[in-house]
Each structure stands twice: as C-alpha cells, then as structure tokens.
Amino acid sequence: MSAADPGPAIEIRGLVTRIGGSVIHDRLDLTVRRGEVLGLVGGSGSGKTVLLRTLIGLLRPAGGEVRLLGERLGPDTAPAGLEQRIGVLFQNGALYSSLTLTENVALALTEHARLPGEEAERLAGVMLALTGLPPAAGGRFPAELSGGMVKRAALARALVLCPELLFLDEPTAGLDPIGAAAFDRLLVTLRDALGLTVFLVTHDLDTLYAACDRVAVLAEQRVLAVGTLEEVAAVDHEWVQAYFRGPRGRAAQRAAQP
Ligand SMILES: Nc1ncnc2c1ncn2[C@@H]1O[C@H](COP(=O)(O)OP(=O)(O)OP(=O)(O)O)[C@@H](O)[C@H]1O
C-alpha cells in the first residue's frame, strides 16, 4: 500500500466466529474495496448477519484479524473514533418509536457531534430530504409511516454523521417491489454523491443487479466466491447455481438488462 493509497475499506483475514459451541465462520477472508457496494449473499443461517455484527463490533471474533478503514479491531473495543466513521442500517430500522423522524436523526448529532438541538434538527431535515422524504415526514412518528419511509429515515440517521463506510442488513426486506427498486436507486445515488463504501447483506437478487459492484457468497463457513455478478454466477457450486440460475435469478437478470 503506497502513502496515497488508503487501502481497503474492510479487510478480513482468517476470521473465526463462534456462537455457543458452534463455529459460524472458519478462517474467512474478504476484502471490500473503498467506494464499492459489496453485496453479501448466502443461504439462511449461513452467517451473514453474524458477520455484519462482528464487523460493527457487536460480536467478538474468536480468531483472525479484521481491519475497518485501516484500523485493526481489538478484542474488546473499536478504535477511538471509528464508530463515527461507520453507519449502520439495521433490518427493522431500529428507530426510537417515541421520537419523530427529525428527532431520531437529530439525536445522533446531539449525542455524537454535540451539536445544539436546533442546529441538529436543521441538519436532520436536510438529511431526511436527501433520502427522499417529504418535509412533512420529519414531524411524524415511525408508527405513522410506511416501511419504505421508515427505511429512508433510518438511512438518514445512518448517514447523518457522514460515515465513510455504511453497513446495511437486508435493506429492502419488507418493501414492495417498487419501493425496493427506489431504495436500490437511492443507495447508488448516495454512494456516488457521498463517496461511500457500502457492505450490504441481502437476499434480494434485484438489489444485487441494481446496486452492487461485487458480490460475495457465504457458504460452508467462509466466503466461497467474490467478484462481479457474472463471475460469481458462473461458480460451480450447488447453492450458487440454485440461487443465480433459478427462476428468480433469471428474472432479476432479465429485469436488469437495458
Ligand atoms: N444469538 C444467537 N444465539 C444462538 N445462535 C445464533 C445466534 N445468532 C445467530 N445464531 C446462529 O448462527 C448462525 C448464523 O446466523 P445468521 O443470523 O448470521 O444467519 P444469516 O445468514 O444472516 O441468516 P438469514 O439469511 O436467515 O437471516 C445460525 O445457525 C444461527 O442459528
């Protein structure tokens, strides 16, 4: 790595994770390049969410090495300041139900950036607009909004501290196909505008085609394949072939063709 090259956004070498007595990942390697959208796919229970939770520091690895933005994750705590350089969108949005959307987004600013309330709310409004929400949505509570709007607000909160690296767990789960497609487009627009690196866990083949630069397949406790969609779809493995060459995979491929 030269002085001008900041290195990969995520570098995982020999990662071992265990939950209870079970090994979930065994000597897993993966590199996520700066500025790319990498989609992680794999069968149910293959360990996608456990990997994401390990990367954001919620689970402690049993072995191996993880570097985020060049910083080595320690056994106990994330390096100082790292948590403000990453944003996370959890599957259900994880917004506070007793706060309005604006208050939810502003909270990240008052807590982490120590902005005064009024300024934080102004900036929160800008971020909610950037994710495509109408001005009136800011004063509403999560329960008053559609799933798609809640996702957008959660994305606004994940982005409000201007992270370099964004983690998304099943961002389009629960959205109707039109809402999901709009969310995929939003993701690409924001990545281009903000220069983000995005690591997303998904089952959604349309998201892979519409939003991801590369795809990694998790199977047999490791990353079995990583590359462009075409490269990965050509891998001779039962799950890969069933996923990409099954009826849904073929439909997503057709839909993505110009
Ligand atoms: N808190 C937990 N306690 C016990 N086992 C767990 C826990 N969390 C995950 N596991 C186990 O770890 C394995 C991987 O789970 P994980 O949630 O990462 O799978 P996944 O690939 O995200 O699945 P899905 O696509 O269904 O969401 C599974 O066997 C799961 O049962």
Q: What is the ipTM of this complex?
A: 0.96
Does 21 sit in the ligand 1 pocket, CB within 6 Å?
Answer: no
Burial-class residue 31 by CB neighbours within 10 Å (0-12, 13-18, 19+).
middle
Q: How many other CB atoms sit within 10 Å of the CB of residue 121?
A: 18
In Å, what is the CA distance from 69 to each residue of 34, 252, 253?
Answer: 9, 32, 32
From 15, 24, 217, 221, mutation site for ligand 1 pocket: most ligand atoms within 8 A of C-beta: 24
pLDDT per residue, tens digit, the chain (258 aa), is 555 677 899 999 999 999 988 999 999 999 999 999 999 999 999 999 999 999 998 888 999 999 999 988 866 666 667 888 999 988 776 889 999 999 999 998 888 777 788 888 999 999 899 888 898 999 999 999 888 889 889 989 998 888 999 999 988 888 888 888 888 998 899 889 889 999 999 988 889 989 999 999 999 999 999 999 999 999 999 989 888 887 677 777 777 776
How far from 13 is each of 59, 72, 103, 226, CA to CA, in Å? 16, 11, 39, 14
- Which one of 15, 16, 19, 41 would you pick to mutate in the ligand 1 pocket, going by the greatest count of ligand atoms within 8 A of its CB? 19
